[in-house]
Structure formats: structure tokens, C-alpha cells
Structure 1
Amino acid sequence: MSKKKIRWFTVSMIAFSMVWGFGNVVNNYAQQGVSVVTSWILIMLLYFIPYALIVGQLGSTFKNSAGGVSSWIKETTGKRKVAYYAAWTYWVVHITYLAQKPQSVLIALGWVVKGNGDVATNMSVQVVALISLLIFLVFLFLSTKGLTTLKVIGSVAGSGMLIMSILFIILAVSIPLMDPTFNAATPDMGNLKTYIPDFNLGYFATISMLVFAVGGAEKISPYVNSIDRPTKNFPKAMIFMATMIGISAVLGSVAMAMLFNSNNIPDDLMANGAYSAFQILGKHFGVGNLLMIIYGLAQTAVQSSALAFSIDAPLKILLSDADPDFVPQWLRKQNRKGTLINGYFLTGILVSIIIILPVFGIQNMSELVKWLTNLNSVVMPMRYIWVFFAYMMLNKQINRFDSEYKFIKNPKLGFLVGFWCFAFTAFACILGMIPKVDYAADPKSWMFQLISNIVTPFVLILLGMILPMIAKRERKN
């Protein structure tokens, strides 16, 4: 075996750490309760495994492409403008993601300092928006200076978070063995019917969160050709990774059901659930708030690092090698240090708008976290659609390209699988726009969330359509 080749198991673990996090368990349990166990199994089999294997074939086919998804689109369609839209989508979906990070940092610090979720339950939306805006602007300024140290700390903390996610499952499922008097918070956990979802409109409105949770597999594409015998070992690595994620998701959801009643889910579970869970476990194991504090510190580091990295990296991907026919010169402008100064300015404006927006329609911090998380589940998967589009186009002209690894050898069947993933992602995003708040209880918040969930993705995409017009006018002048 070549020294440059890496084992399939190593690739599987890298992919697992890239895609998975404990927050995925908490957020989806908060929306579906313990019936999410069935949803996890279905999403793994019907969506995530094909998604990961599709990425494998694209990565293997275009192993020398530096631009990721936009390069795949350019190669398979031959159209630079379509490739630009793919690159724009990849960048612009990070706007809502960035808007949520300051609140995540604030909540994590609140738990570490105060030992409770008061920040997420008692602080007014106006105060939260102001503090979040301040945190974001500080990180926006610092990211123009480079934050290598913070990114390293975030990477280490990310490994710690992965360990804490696994530790949570081990500790939670072992409580009944250590304490025979322990009663699970959710009744009838031994009954199979408890785990069957009610497949209605409300249920389908939550699947965007599942898609959001398992998305991001395109990040593993550079590793496809680094693996030994990719045709045989890459599918093995991806199926093993999907199995690990599936087990983590199922056991994590069962563990959540043991601690929080699935029939009476707390309103602040998305904001405070992970910290409350570790606090409960700490009390059961006689270590007080220790587990919660460790998780809170790791979360603070990870969210801070993600905030810095997600300002900087996607912007460089979009603008460093941007096509001047579609991106105006003023947006590509760099200062003497090579900083894309106007790109940071545009990021600052868009993210600031999303941070301030809740002041006009959200009543409390807990509802704010739920809204922003759901908005992310609508916006972020829009970039996955381009992966499946590239795969469909690849299968339409399969003889033009050479690939060491092929997911499906029959191009017609490959196209259909790509179309299924494309359509399912679009379906999840559209239904995800339906607000998760009860209209009768809070009509103002319901209407605000519906309008913002629909308008936000359209405005972000529309902005990307306006830039080529500005660039064209700029060239004429």
C-alpha cells in the first residue's frame, strides 16, 4: 500500500467528526420527541447513505478541482454562470448560520458562569440582539486579522465535543443499571408504538432539520482518492460512518427520552437541552455541574471558532478566485494585506440584519433559538441541492468523465437517485418554512416566522442574481 494512502476506517472517522454533533440529537428530539428514532433510521437509509456515496463519486471524478461544488457544476454543465450560482449559494447560506453563533456563545457562557439557563429563558430579545450583534462585530473585525490560534483551539474543542457526545450516551443508558429506582421521564419506552411518528403535515415540516443534521458530506470529497482501493473501501467507509451516526442518533434520542418527557418537551429544549442533560447526568453520577461546565466550555470554544472560520473561509472560496464576469470588482477588492474588505463589509451588513430581525416578531430568547435553528434548516440545505444537480449532470454525460470510484454504474439509475436526493432536499426546505409555533397561541410570532422563513432564502438568492448585473454594468463603464 502506498504511503500516501489512508485506511478506510480513518476516512470514516474523519467524515463522522465533520458531519455529526450532539446538537443534532437535541434539536431533532425537541421537534419530534422519541419518535425521531424512526426518522433517524429512515433518513440514514433513504437519504444520507446515497448522499455520501454521491459525494464520493464526484470527489473521485474531479479529484483535481479546487473549487469543490462550484467546480463540479462547471465541469458537468460547462456553464460558468451556473457555477457562480453554486459558489454564491455555498457562501450565502452561511449568513443565517453566522447569525446564530453569537447566541450559542452567549448561552454556553451563561451556563458556565451561572449554572443555569437563565440567559435563554429570562433575557429579552432586544438585549440578546444587541449583545449578539456586538459579539459578531468583534469576531468580524478579528477575522480580518486572522485567528489561527482560535481555530486550533476550536479544532481541539471539537474533538472534545465529539467525546462528550459519546460520553452522554454511555452515561445516560447506564443510569438504570447503576440506580434501579431510576424511572425514565418518557412513559412506555418499551412499547414499539412510542417510536412511530404521526406522518402528518406537522411531521413533514420538521424533516428539514434532519436533512440539516446529516448535511455537509461534500467536505469529505478530498479524501476519496486518498483511500486505498476506493472502489471497494470508500463505500465501506461511508456505510460504517452512516452506521455510527445512526447508532449515535438513535441511542442519543433514547437517552434524551430518558431525561426529558417526549410527551411534554420543554419550550427551551433547543436552547438549554444539552446543558440540562449534562447537569442531570452530573447529579446522578455525583459530580455536580462538572460535566455541564466541561460541555459549556467546549461549546464556547467550538462556537467561537465556527463563528470566526465561517466568516473567513466561505468568503475566500467565493471571492479569491471569483469570475469577474459575475462578481463586481468592488466586492473582490483587497487591501494591502490581501483582506477582502468589501466582502467582510457585505457579510457584516447581511448578518447584522438577521441578528436584529427577531426584535420585530419574536417574543423571547427560547423562541428566538428555535426560529433561527429552523431558519438554518431551511437555508443551509440549499447548498446540498447543487451536489445532487452536479451528480445528475454527471450521469447524463458519464462517458466524458473517468472515475476510479462509481456509486452506481448504470447512468439512468444514477440520475434517478440524484434526482431523488435533489427533490427530497427541496421538499424538506419548502415544508421547513412552516412555523413550528402554535398560531392560536402566538399569531404575531407565527406570521413573522412564516414571512421571514420564505423571504430570507429568496432575498439571499436574489442578491446573487443582482451581482452579475452590477458586474456587467461595471464592465461597460
Structure 2
Amino acid sequence: MEDESKKLRWYNLSLMGFVMIWGFGNVVNNFANQGLKVVFSWLIMISIYFVPYVLMVGELGSTFKDGKAGVSSWIRSTMGPTLAYFAGWTYWVVHIPYLAQKPQSILIALSWAIFQDGTRIKSVNPMILQSITLILFFIFLWVASRGINSLKKIGTIAGTSIFVMSILYILLVIAAPALRGMKPATENLTFKTFIPEFNFAYFTTISMLVFAVGGCEKISPYVNNTKNPSKEFPKGMIVLAAMVGVSAILGSLAMGMMFDANNIPKDLKMNGQYYAFKMLGEYYGLGNILLVIYALANMAAQISSLVFSIDAPLKVLLADSDKRYVPEKLAKINDIGTPINGYKLTAVLVSILIILPAIGIGDMNTLFNWLLDLNSIVMPLRYLWVFLAYMALKKSVDGKFHSGYKFIKSKNKGFIVGLWCFVFTVFACIMGMFPKGVTPFSREWKFQITLNLLTPFILIGLGFILPIIAKRKSDNSPFDVPEDKKIA
């Protein structure tokens, strides 16, 4: 009898991966950066980066099917416990800028749901708004500490609704010229409209593309639940890549029909999703109903994502922690299972990143764009560990590891592909550090690039402190934290 656990087919994997990875914001943010030239960028990015990325994840997931900590388990098996700790640390710490931006997104969604325009929140003083953002973060930090799961379930429903509405948006905009007589905003389309100029400014935007397609390691637990993984997993991932490509390209074309690609609004990253649904409602005579539905659904999804992203990455760091690297006090939990000291560390780092930028960035739109760009610099750092694990796997001794699925059988070719993805990600992150949308070498430009350079080094560098503290505590203290007080 066929094992019931191996019941996922290639189309199941494709749909699961698409929902996990893709979102309407990926289309809006990259269109804001590149206009319709992003169509060519999507084709290149998916073919030379995303496809090998997901197939590497498939091989790693199949090889280390019993690993509980994802990428950290892969690194521990191939490169040892020290680097496994830093992989876990990176996975957690890159969420700090993400957590700093989520309360902003919640406020923006709420403002659109209530006022149905984006002018109110843009006019607020950044320091005042960031103070409100900080208070909002503390509220949801407390919510996460109480172990409340209902918000996560609500967020799943809201996230699914946003996904459906995003697909509906693409279909309705593309159909609008025929059904409603809409005239495309971008005129005089030529071949050159879609081909980027490969200059310095262009390369500063590719980190946002990497950020958009990253994170497919979330699919890895399902590799060994696939029927005939050596055949169906790669098929599913190729279909996933095609789905992402079609959604990205059609979504970008839809944006080009709605917004003039040669005159993109400066606040498109901040308000583009809401402008899109407001205008879509106007095209079809529905008023602001689509806008309000999208804003409320997005607010619920952002709240859930904030709560989940406070709790889950921290537990990834602490759940399988080695006391040689993580102080036992940090891994201690309270009576309701919350790693309370880990929450305090999160609160300190996020608070700094919420308040500090408001000192040197003059308006809310620029502040939002900067924090989004910072995420595109910092988040991909966790992808680097995937490529390192794959390179290490390909350099391992023959017969040491067994996989039901192999992306590339040749060790040398596999190593080269892993190295390519690693180098490309590093290059994208470095280029993303250069500020966009501000006058070069102005005071604000210097302030932004200083924060862009320092933030990843400080966040990753803090990871070197914990092992020193852990060693000092281990050497000086005869007391151990009881097993029932550690992260389960």
C-alpha cells in the first residue's frame, strides 16, 4: 500500500509555494523601482536565480529530511555547530527591520480603510508617527508573548483574501480596456520600454527583486511528502517558477496600464497597492468598496505577520540552541512558554530601528521607502546560508549523505551553481545599500547610506557577543536552567 504521507503531487507543491512566496507588494515595489523595464528583470531573475534556488532547496530538504531547524539543521550537518548557530542567529536577526516596518504598514492600511486616501498619514511628522509605531509594536509584542493564535488564523484568512484579490486585480485591469474602455496610462510602448539600462542606478534596485523571490526554503519540509520526489518535486518547482513569472510579468503590465511608467508616483511603494484598488473600483463603477476590503484584509494580514514574526524566528534561534553559543538565560521561558528574555532583546533592537531613522529622515514617505529598502538588503542575508549549505553538501564525502532527489548530480557543477547564487545575493545586497530617490551626497543620502552599511554589520555582529556571554556564564556559574524552563 502506498504511504499516505507521500500524497503531495507536483501541482500541490506549486500552489503551496506560490502562496508562501508571492504577494501583490512584490509587483508594486519592483514596478516602483524600475517601471515596465522590470518585465525583463523578472525574466532574468526567475531563470538564472529563482529556479536554481528552489531546486537547491529541494535537494537539501530531501537530504536532511529529519532536520527540525531548517537551514540551521542543514548547516549543522554539513559545516558544524558553530556556523549552525550563526545561521540560526541570522534567520532571527534579519527579521528586526521587518518587525520595525510592520507597524508602519498596519497604520497605513488603517488610514486607507478609514479615510480612503493616502494624504493623511504622509503629512504626519515622522517622529510622531514612529512614536505611534513603537507603541503599536509594544502592544503586539505583548499579544505575541501571551501565545494568542487567533490573530495568526485571522491573518491566514486575510492573506488568502489578499492573494485572491491580487490575482483578480491583474485580470480586471488587463480586461478593463475591452470591458470598460480604459486607456493605458503608459503610452508609446516600444521594445526599449522593457529593456533596462544596465547602469549603476539599475543595479541598486536588484536587491528588491531578490527579496521578492526569496524564502522558498519554507517549502523544504514537504519534499519528502511528495509522491516520487525525484520527478515530481522539480516539476512542481518549475511550474512554481512559471506561475511567479506569469504573475510578475502580467502584474507589472497591469501596473503599467494603470500608472504611467515614465512618471511613477513617488509614494507608489507606500500607497501603490491602495491606489491600485481605488482606481480599479472607479473603472468598474464600484466606488471605494474594493479599496476598503483590501485595506482591511491587508491590515489583518500585517497584524498576524507581525505577531508571527516576533515569535517564530526567535523560537527557531532558541528551540535547538547549543548552550555553548546561546546563554541559558536567553533560552529561559516563563510559565506560559514565552522566551521572555528573547522578547526583551527583540524589543530593544526594534525600538532602536524604529526611532533612530526618524531623526535623520525628513518625511514619512522617504522613511517608509528606506525601511523597505533596508529589508531588501538585510533579509536576503538568510538566503546565503542555503547556498553555503548546498556548496558544503556538494563538497561532502561520497556516501555521507543520501537524497531522494538531486538537483545536480555533478558535485563540481552543483558547487558552481551554489556559488553563483551566493555571489549574486551578496552583490545585490551591497548594491541595495546605495540610497534611492534622494539627492546623492546630500545630508539625507549620507544618513541613509550610513544606516544601510551599519545595520547589517551590527545585527550580524551582535551574534558574536552571545557565545562570549554563554562561555563566561558557563565558566562562572554552577547553576543550570532546568530543562522545563528551556524552549521546547
Q: How does 1:175-324 map to 2 (within 5 A)?
A: 175-180=176-181, 182-189=182-189, 191-324=190-323
Structure 1 residues 315-354: Cα deviation after superposition (integer angstroms, max 9, x where no partner): 1111122110001122112222222111000000000111
Structure 1 residues 247-296: Cα deviation after superposition (integer angstroms, max 9, x where no partner): 00001011111111111111110010010011001001010001111110
Letter in 1 for 2:59: Q
Paired residues of 1:112 and 1:296 also in contact (CA < 8 A): yes
Letter in 1 for 2:124: M
CA deviation after TM superposition for structure 1 residue 472, in Å: 1.0
Q: Give the distance between the partners of 1:281 and 1:474, measured in 2 at CA.
A: 60
Cα distance change of structure 1 residues 416 and 329 upon mapping to structure 2, 3 Å threshold: same
Q: Give the distance between the partners of 2:436 and 2:120, measured in 1 at CA.
A: 22
Letter in 1 for 2:65: K
Structure-2 residue corresponding to 1:2: 3
Q: How does 1:404-419 map to 2 (within 5 A)?
A: 404-419=404-419
Structure 1 residues 149-205: Cα deviation after superposition (integer angstroms, max 9, x where no partner): 00000011111111011011001101111133x32111223x221000111011001
Paired residues of 2:13 and 2:236 also in contact (CA < 8 A): yes
Q: Give the distance between the partners of 1:354 and 1:274, measured in 2 at CA.
A: 25
SS of equivalent to 1:277: helix
Aligned identity (percent) is 54
Paired residues of 1:185 and 1:261 also in contact (CA < 8 A): yes
Q: Give the distance between the partners of 1:124 and 1:250, measured in 2 at CA.
A: 36
- Is 1:468 paired with 2:431? no
Structure 1 residues 67-123: Cα deviation after superposition (integer angstroms, max 9, x where no partner): 10011001011x211100000000000000000000000000000000100244211
Paired residues of 1:121 and 1:364 also in contact (CA < 8 A): yes
SS of equivalent to 2:4: coil
Q: How does 1:80-91 map to 2 (within 5 A)?
A: 80-91=81-92
Paired residues of 1:437 and 1:445 also in contact (CA < 8 A): no
Structure-2 residue corresponding to 1:23: 25
Structure-2 residue corresponding to 1:104: 105
Structure 1 residues 422-441: Cα deviation after superposition (integer angstroms, max 9, x where no partner): 0000110011100003325x
Q: Give the distance between the partners of 1:369 and 1:30, measured in 2 at CA.
A: 13
CA deviation after TM superposition for structure 1 residue 356, in Å: 0.5
Letter in 1 for 2:277: F
Letter in 2 for 1:393: A
Q: Give the distance between the partners of 1:67 and 1:2, measured in 2 at CA.
A: 25
Paired residues of 2:33 and 2:205 also in contact (CA < 8 A): yes
Q: Give the distance between the partners of 2:412 and 2:427, measured in 1 at CA.
A: 22
Paired residues of 1:270 and 1:370 also in contact (CA < 8 A): yes
Q: How does 1:43-442 map to 2 (within 5 A)?
A: 43-77=45-79, 79-180=80-181, 182-189=182-189, 191-397=190-396, 399=398, 400-439=400-439
Paired residues of 1:125 and 1:358 also in contact (CA < 8 A): no
Cα distance change of structure 1 residues 332 and 110 upon mapping to structure 2, 3 Å threshold: same
Paired residues of 2:358 and 2:367 also in contact (CA < 8 A): no
SS of equivalent to 1:133: helix
CA deviation after TM superposition for structure 1 residue 398, in Å: 5.4
SS of equivalent to 2:402: coil
Q: Give the distance between the partners of 2:418 and 2:432, measured in 1 at CA.
A: 21
Paired residues of 2:127 and 2:359 also in contact (CA < 8 A): no
Q: Give the distance between the partners of 1:129 and 1:18, measured in 2 at CA.
A: 29
Structure 1 residues 353-383: Cα deviation after superposition (integer angstroms, max 9, x where no partner): 1110122111111111110010000000000
Letter in 1 for 2:48: L
State the 4+ residue runs in structure 1 displaced beyond 6 angstroms. Answer: none
CA deviation after TM superposition for structure 1 residue 2, in Å: 3.4
Q: Give the distance between the partners of 1:196 and 1:50, measured in 2 at CA.
A: 24
SS of equivalent to 2:320: coil
Q: Give the distance between the partners of 1:123 and 1:116, measured in 2 at CA.
A: 14
Identify unmatched segments of 5+ residues in structure 1.
none
Q: Give the distance between the partners of 2:117 and 2:336, measured in 1 at CA.
A: 43
Q: Give the distance between the partners of 1:454 and 1:120, measured in 2 at CA.
A: 28
SS of equivalent to 1:228: coil
RMSD over aligned CA atoms reads 1.0
Structure-1 residue corresponding to 2:485: none
Letter in 1 for 2:140: F
Paired residues of 1:120 and 1:271 also in contact (CA < 8 A): no
Q: Give the distance between the partners of 2:121 and 2:279, measured in 1 at CA.
A: 18
Deviates more, 1:3-12 or 1:340-349: 3-12
Q: Give the distance between the partners of 1:219 and 1:312, measured in 2 at CA.
A: 16
Identify unmatched segments of 5+ residues in structure 2.
477-488
Paired residues of 1:392 and 1:414 also in contact (CA < 8 A): yes
Q: Give the distance between the partners of 1:435 and 1:163, measured in 2 at CA.
A: 33
SS of equivalent to 1:304: helix
Structure-1 residue corresponding to 2:481: none
Q: Give the distance between the partners of 1:53 and 1:376, measured in 2 at CA.
A: 24
Letter in 1 for 2:21: V
Q: Give the distance between the partners of 1:81 and 1:120, measured in 2 at CA.
A: 45
Paired residues of 1:106 and 1:119 also in contact (CA < 8 A): no
Letter in 2 for 1:165: S
SS of equivalent to 1:322: coil
Structure-2 residue corresponding to 1:38: 40
TM-score by length of 2: 0.96
Paired residues of 1:328 and 1:471 also in contact (CA < 8 A): yes
